[in-house]
Amino acid sequence: MTCDVLVIGHGLHALVTMAAAGGRLLPGRETRRVVRRGRSISAIALDHGEISARFFVDTAAGPSLADQQAFEPIAGREYIDTIAVTEGPGGRYALPYRAALAPAIDNVLVIPANLPPALALAAAHAVGIAAVLLARTGQPANQLDSATLRERLRAAGARL
């Protein structure tokens, strides 16, 4: 049994990643399928187990997440390709550009789901600027010069 469910929040991240992968299934998400309506992706099909809430779509831990790479910000760590910074109770947290690249999927920029809110907001700004630069130059996301991106971010008022 399947049911169309509107994807919100972290589920949208999985949907975009799956769509960018050419509709291939994500590890641990074998029952999900992209449902297309016209040119926009607006829903995802879930199996009955997900609908009846035996487990939740946005579960933050579990065996299905073992294969996924996650970026865990570490206080005080600096990166040569830092694109977002925030101050927290534990110190200064930085996000490198390479953490926004989806592994094995070309030209997809993502924001890791486990970031503190202030860092996620700064990362969204940085990923937006990166998308503009990539659209203008036509180069692949993994070849974007992080120094150029950092210059544009500073010009836009970002603290790095």
Q: Are residues 50 and 105 in the same domain?
A: no
Task: Indicate if the pLDDT at residue 81 is higher than 50.
Answer: yes
10 pLDDT band (50/70/90 cuts)?
very low
Question: What is the overall mean pLDDT for the chain?
Answer: 68
Q: Are residues 90 and 118 in the same domain?
A: yes
Q: Are residues 53 and 87 in the same domain?
A: no
16 pLDDT band (50/70/90 cuts)?
low
Whether residue 77 lies inside any domain: the answer is no
Q: Are residues 52 and 96 in the same domain?
A: no
Whether residue 39 lies inside any domain: the answer is yes
Whether residue 105 lies inside any domain: the answer is yes
Whether residue 144 lies inside any domain: the answer is yes
Whether residue 139 lies inside any domain: the answer is yes
Residues 143-155: pLDDT tens digits? 998 889 989 998 9
Domain count, the chain: 2
How much is the pLDDT for 130? 92
Whether residue 76 lies inside any domain: the answer is no
Whether residue 13 lies inside any domain: the answer is yes
**Three-state SS letters, the chain:** CEEEECCCCHHHHHHHHHHHCCCCCCCCCCCCEEEEECCEEEEEEEEHHHHCCCCCCCCCCCHHHCCCCCCCCCCCCCCCCEEEEEEECCEEEEEEHHHHECCCCCCCECCCCCCCHHHHHHHHHHHHHHHHHHHHHCCCHHHCCHHHHHHHHHHCCCCC
